[in-house]
């Protein structure tokens, strides 16, 4: 049943994208006609003119067990200054909300893939939350916003960008169970940025890695970035679904969403994460729990131990 649901999602995404792509020139023309008088003022204002930085680069995934499977694809992202943007994304946190969640006082930037042709696909968006100390600012916290589009779910949590370990809180793939932890780190955005995530599993060990490596590019389309991100979300969806099919073809077990098999999976993830934060060093001498060894590398001095929260919400319908 779950597999049929995913197939239906793929077909729906394809046909809706195709139809909306056909009418895109008409939407663009109408927008030019009816909003041309206000566009110059918005684009040239001090508040919004430089609020978006463009990045492009590569996403890379590698699974080592139970079968080897890897792939990479090109992506384009926007880094949005949420304090200066005249129209921040409505389906994400505001700068005020992000500061409240992260407990910071400085600027907040959102790394995300904008909507294109009425469709959005963001497996991972990141908020970079800065702290101001002695008239200088430095990256203090990040907020990860993970979305599993086919199931319409989203989870958000704070992590230390230098390095952190988080108990897995969301069913992001039908080929991964809910056991294990995410090791995650992220660099401060500059000319380049990167995000690295790996999965430590009690049985499979360090069996999955993913990286995002981006380079800042100069805008060539003025304040209208729709051409830069044209069909970018659709390409991400195609890659996700295509490689899900390839994993199924290779014989990797297809797993139902845990809401059908373990309704308490959210509470279980919270408990496991609290144990990770409180019990530093547990399992460091054992071989049966490799997911706990990595906790020894975490610097917990600048975060409240056992106070991390997961925020689960319903994701916005991907079609606008």
Whether 231 is in a domain gets the answer yes
Say what the pLDDT of residue 75 is. Answer: 97
Say what the pLDDT of residue 46 is. Answer: 38
Residue 307 vs residue 39, higher pLDDT: 307
Whether 47 is in a domain gets the answer no
Whether 44 is in a domain gets the answer no
pLDDT one-digit tens code per residue, 144-175 = 999 998 888 999 999 999 999 999 999 999 99
Say what the pLDDT of residue 241 is. Answer: 87
Closest to 92 (Cα-Cα) out of 114, 119, 107, 77:
114
The mean per-residue pLDDT over the stretch 176-204 comes to 96
Residue 230 vs residue 213, higher pLDDT: 213
Say what the pLDDT of residue 284 is. Answer: 35
Whether 188 is in a domain gets the answer yes
Of 82-86, 129-133, 267-271, 304-308, least confident by mean pLDDT is 304-308
- Over the chain, what is the mean pLDDT? 83
Say what the pLDDT of residue 176 is. Answer: 96
Whether 17 is in a domain gets the answer yes
Whether 43 is in a domain gets the answer no
Say what the pLDDT of residue 216 is. Answer: 97
pLDDT one-digit tens code per residue, 234-286 = 899 889 989 988 998 999 999 989 999 999 999 999 999 999 888 654 433 33
Angle between helix 2-35 and 232-249 (nearest 10) = 170
Say what the pLDDT of residue 305 is. Answer: 40
pLDDT one-digit tens code per residue, 103-132 = 999 999 999 999 988 889 999 999 999 999
Say what the pLDDT of residue 224 is. Answer: 77
Whether 115 is in a domain gets the answer yes
By residue range, what is the domain housing residue 73? 2-21+52-314
Of 15-29, 63-77, 261-275, least confident by mean pLDDT is 15-29
Say what the pLDDT of residue 21 is. Answer: 62
Percent with pLDDT over 70 in the chain? 75
pTM of the model: 0.84
The mean per-residue pLDDT over the stretch 84-91 comes to 89
- Sheet with 69-81, side-by-side order of all strands: 164-167, 181-186, 192-201, 205-217, 52-63, 69-81, 108-112, 124-133, 136-148, 153-159, 311-314
pLDDT one-digit tens code per residue, 31-63 = 667 655 443 333 333 345 579 999 999 999 999
Whether 30 is in a domain gets the answer no
Number of domains in the chain: 1
Residue 24 vs residue 274, higher pLDDT: 274
Say what the pLDDT of residue 280 is. Answer: 52
């Amino acid at each position: 049943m779950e597999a049929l649901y995913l197939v239906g999602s793929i077909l729906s995404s394809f046909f809706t994208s195709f139809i909306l792509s056909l009418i895109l020139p008409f939407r663009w023309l109408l927008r030019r006609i009816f909003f041309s008088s206000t566009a110059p003022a918005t684009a040239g204002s001090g508040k919004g003119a430089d609020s978006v930085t463009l990045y492009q680069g590569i996403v890379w995934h590698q699974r080592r067990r139970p079968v080897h499977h890897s792939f990479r694809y090109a992506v384009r992202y926007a880094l949005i200054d949420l304090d200066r943007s005249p129209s921040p994304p409505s389906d994400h946190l505001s700068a005020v909300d992000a500061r409240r969640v992260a407990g910071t006082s400085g600027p907040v930037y959102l790394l995300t893939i904008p909507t294109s042709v009425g469709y959005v696909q963001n497996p991972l968006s990141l908020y970079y939350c800065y702290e101001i100390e002695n008239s200088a600012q430095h990256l203090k916290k990040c907020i990860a916003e993970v979305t599993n589009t086919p199931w319409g779910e989203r989870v958000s949590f704070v992590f230390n960008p230098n390095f952190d370990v988080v108990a897995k809180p969301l069913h992001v793939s039908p080929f991964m169970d809910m056991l294990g932890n995410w090791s995650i780190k992220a660099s401060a955005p500059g000319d380049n940025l990167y995000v690295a995530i790996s999965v430590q599993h009690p049985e499979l060990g360090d069996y999955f890695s993913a990286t995002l490596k981006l380079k800042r590019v100069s805008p060539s389309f003025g304040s209208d970035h729709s051409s830069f991100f044209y069909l970018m979300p659709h390409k991400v969806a195609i890659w996700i679904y295509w490689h899900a099919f390839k994993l199924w073809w290779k014989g990797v077990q297809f797993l139902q969403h845990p809401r059908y098999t373990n309704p308490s999976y959210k509470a279980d993830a919270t408990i496991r994460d609290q144990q990770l934060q409180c019990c530093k060093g547990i399992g460091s001498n054992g071989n049966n729990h490799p997911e706990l060894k990595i906790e020894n590398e975490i610097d917990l001095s600048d975060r409240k131990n056992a106070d991390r929260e997961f925020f689960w919400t319903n994701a916005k319908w991907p079609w606008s």
